[in-house]
Amino acid sequence: MNAPRVRSFWAAIGSLGAATLASCTSPAETYFDNGQELARAGFIAHAADTTARYTMLNQLPPSRLTFRPIPDGGKIYLFADPISCTCVYMGNESSYQRLIHTPKLNRRFMRTILSPIEMATENRQNTASWDWTAWAPSADPGANQPKHVTGASW
């Protein structure tokens, strides 16, 4: 093979490789995008920074929108994000309505929203140990949490 042909071959391979890499997205980008969509709709991220909160985060279907009943008979919609923020996004009925009526909502994200029937089914299966008091701002993070997690100084 002559030198110009070899160079063109490797240039083509390099261009193909660069195009392939440019089309890839980071797996974490999906979770970041989900958080942005939820925040735009009015959902608030609550860090799972205590043992009780972390346990409840793991009781929710990961990266799926569902709900839990609240004592006054309403619903709080929840989205567990164990990967990008280790948090639970919480929103009320109006936040949920804004989310599902968002024009041009990312199709990938739309698949994370359970149907009302799926939400009700999931809710009946996994609500026995749900404790809203753990999400109160005054909740004690517990002695087994490192101080950097709770915001205290060393």
- pLDDT score for 148: 44
| Residue 133 CA: distances (Å) to CA of 53, 111, 129, 139 | 10, 30, 12, 7
pLDDT level of residue 22 (50, 70, 90 thresholds): very low
Residue 129, both tokens: 């140990």
Residue 154, both tokens: 């060393």
**pLDDT over 90 at 89, yes or no:** yes
Q: Which residue in 60, 63, 78 sits closest to 28, CA to CA?
A: 63
Q: Which residue in 107, 117, 41 sits closest to 79, CA to CA?
A: 41
